[in-house]
A and B are shown apart, each in its own frame.
Chain A
Amino acid sequence: MIAEVGLALLWLAAALAALQLVVGALALRPEGRALAGLVRPVAVMQGLLVMGAFAALVMLFVTTDLSVKLVVDNSHSAKPLIFKIAGTWGNHEGSMLLWVTIMAVAGAFVALIERRLDEATLTATLAGQAFISLGFYVFLLIASNPFARLAQPADEGQGLNPLLQDIGLAFHPPTLYVGYVGLSIAFSFAIGALVTRNVGPAFARAMRPWVLGAWIFLTLGITAGSYWAYYTLGWGGWWFWDPVENASLMPWLAATALLHSVSVLQSRDALRAWTVMLGVVAFSMSMVGTFLVRSGILTSVHAFAVDPQRGAFILALLAIDIGGALALFTLRAGTVTEGKRFGLVSREAALVFNNVMLSGILGIVLIGTLYPLLTEAYGVKVSVGAPYFNPAAGMFAFPMFVVMAVGPLLRWRQDRLSGARSGRRLWPLAVCLALVLAVLVGVELTAHGIALLPALGLSVAPGLLLASLLPLRGRNLRRTPLPVWGMVVAHAGIAVALFGMASESAFSVERLAALSIGEAREVGPWRVSLDGMMPVAGPNWTALEANVTTRYAGGTPVQLHPRAETFTNPPGTRNESALETRWNGQLYVVLGEQAEDGRWQMRFWWKPFVPLIWLGGALVGLGGALALLGRVMSDIRRLVAKDKIAWRRMRQGR
């Protein structure tokens, strides 16, 4: 029953999306003006309906309805409730439904609250949003119905891949989806603005919170995904330049560039065509990423829900949506000029420079990720990994860090770096530069054999951290606007993460050891000993758990319990590493198998400052959240003020 209701709601939502598109398109013509009032309510209704459909699917998973094919294929009655819920989107059909759900709900939200944009552009935006949604509805209803029933209910479900039964991973995909879909709103705004040729500060103001919101979720999603890979893959790596990882990084890079260019457009009415272009590119990268992940045309260690047929469908959607948008861009952007000009030394110029650098990194990641596919077409297999990505991306990243340190201190439009007053602004930067050089010299003198990139990272990070705090100098901290705090926190987060990455790469200590019970080893400053081995059981797994006593530099002992887990539904194994986090790093312990002589194969890593990578990522996300909060609050304040004025006028009898 629930399944039928869900399917019916999905059909209705699809029908409303079609209506939204048609009405929206008609309303843009002079003769259809009367219809314009219909678009907003239809968008809201569509959002509500698809939410109902998604709730129905969640219900089916929670109750483990074994007459529904999707539940049987991906769930199991003995699974913990949280993973039953997560199972809803831990598969292709469910994740596509989640995708349209977030998209429609976001569309409904735009329809409800967006009042600053002119009505025509908003109508075009909602029509564009409906157009994209419609493609996904067709995909769901024709090729991947999540509510399909089995002719014969199954006795038990097949369960969820053990690697996916992890609290971090349960919420990693939906976080990324919110990001992707948020970018779809930005994309729709770009389309709307191109259709009405109305690219200006109002458009930027409307689009900005969506870009910011999407970007926060992408940041957190990537950070969480990286941490998940770090502690589940069991070899201490946190980023592998794997196609699936790159697929999530590319939208983030585009969104970061977009976030900055949209701020230029909003405050200075410059970079019009470029911002629209980035709006299109950011969502394109989301679709390209989804396509790469789902189609399986690139082999990945994180392969999930791979199916070439679905890949073909997503590719078709990609061609229609992105191809269409780019064609529109090509036709219209000629009439959208770049807007105001600015000097070579100005905040705009710094932002443009970093936009270009971010786009450069995006280009490198895109080319490096797809290059194996290209050579495959010529019958040659090549692999592109860290030895290419790190230096090629570094070429763009390090100049960007330098400009990132200086940019926020520059004035809009035109600045002068000479003259009496600029000295006061410049000396703190000189301190930062001195710090960078001092650390660089220190690293080169004390540590041997550190590669160029980690050495650069170690030295740039502290200077960048200091420089990113400089915009707060001379301000009353309590009256500093939240968006400024947001920028400072996010930029500091980049510096913090950079330091973590460089330190991990430069100072990690690896120790592989076969230990018998009672044996000890040294791992960097740590002393670790294997004290015992215990069988343990979880809700749907059994495991061997090692009892490892660890001591940092002779300090108090800490017990760690790495596990080797065995799952039965479906059968599989998972190594649950154990981590001990200190302020200055993390000890990483993995339990391997037992050797024939009875000793246990263990892997240890001491990774100085590695948690800073994810702490930095979280700070970047927090910075975004602060900025968003600040903007939303000022919007609300403005609305309240407007209402008050209106109310006063009314009272005065006008």
Chain B
Amino acid sequence: MAAYEAGTMSQADPKPRLRLALWLPLILFAALFALFVHGLTNPADTNVASAFVGNPLPQFDLPPAAADRPGLATRAFQTGKPKLLNVFASWCVPCAAEAPQLAALAQAGVEVDGVAIHDQRADLTRFLAANGNPYAAIGRDDQRAVQLAIGSSGVPETYVIDGRGVIRYQHIGDIRPEDVPKLLARVKDAGKGAGS
């Protein structure tokens, strides 16, 4: 024991520099703790938002997905009137849930165009018959070409497109009743922006 103590003493190091280094772990840990607390109290939004909002729609020309609606092409969004672009599918449950809200938006005078992802005509016809058909046009996107091109990561998603074909806003997930006025306001804003 005594020898050990003597050993320690004889090793006296220049202290000040070492002292600073000793605080380092505690400081790093405090930073880590702060990060964890922040991460816990602000759970990350698991949705991946489109980074493409603000850009003009890419060029596309989709064939019709349903018998009684035309297909969808980029030029349909360059008419000077803002529209909604709804990315959906007949196999998606939340898409059925948002159908009344889409109908309400269409009722309010907003044109809603659809892009049906990985869908078959028979399934889609059944879906539209059961849930109503608020769409003015439905394009058929079997390979998610348009979906990928606008940075959409799932169904349903709804985009506000202004009259010049520029994406103005993205709504992720199904549209709840309380979202309808918000979307209407967004469409109105988009109309103003394009008009000026």
- Chain A residues with CB under 8 Å of chain B are 200, 269, 273, 277, 280-281, 284, 288, 291, 295, 297, 299, 308, 311-312, 315, 318-319, 322-323, 326-327, 329-330, 333-334, 336-341, 370, 373-374, 376-377, 381
Contacts and interface: CB of A to CB of B under 8 A. Distances in A.
B181 interface: no
Most buried by A among B13, B22, B36, B46: B36
Given A326-B29, A377-B38, 10 more contacts: A315-B33, A318-B33, A318-B36, A327-B26, A329-B22, A329-B25, A330-B23, A373-B35, A376-B39, A377-B35
Contacts of B109: none
Contacts of B13: 337-338
A370 B29 contact: no
Contacts of B46: 299
B2 interface: no
B15 A334 contact: yes
A299 B32 CA distance: 18
A200 B6 CA distance: 13
Given A284-B29, A288-B32, A339-B11, A315 B40 contact: yes
B39 A377 contact: yes
A477 B73 CA distance: 78
B36 A269 contact: no
B25 A277 contact: yes
Nearest to B8: A337
Interface in B1-17: 4, 7-8, 11-13, 15
- Size category of the B interface is 20 to 34
Contact of B19 (A269, A312, A334): A334
A297 B35 CA distance: 11
Contact of B7 (A322, A334, A339, A370): A339
Nearest to A323: B29
Nearest to A296: B43
Interface string B28-58: 0110110111111011101010000000000
Given A284-B29, A308-B43, A330 B22 contact: yes
A288 B33 CA distance: 10
6 contacts: A297-B40, A323-B26, A334-B18, A337-B12, A340-B11, A377-B39
B11 A337 contact: yes
Contacts of B32: 288, 370
B22 A334 contact: yes
B35 A374 contact: yes
B43 A297 contact: yes
Contact of B35 (A319, A338, A339, A370): A370
Interface string B45-82: 01010000000000000000000000000000000000
B29 A297 contact: no
Given A269-B7, A337-B11, A373-B39, A297 B25 contact: no
A330 B25 contact: yes
Contacts of A315: 33, 36-37, 40
A271 to B, nearest CB: 12
A334 B30 CA distance: 20
Contacts of B39: 295, 297, 373, 376-377
Given A333-B22, A334-B19, A337-B8, A323 B33 contact: yes
A333 B15 CA distance: 11
A308 B36 CA distance: 11
B172 to A, nearest CB: 13
B183 to A, nearest CB: 22
Contacts of B40: 295, 297, 308, 311-312, 315
A482 B131 CA distance: 74
Contacts of B22: 273, 329-330, 333-334
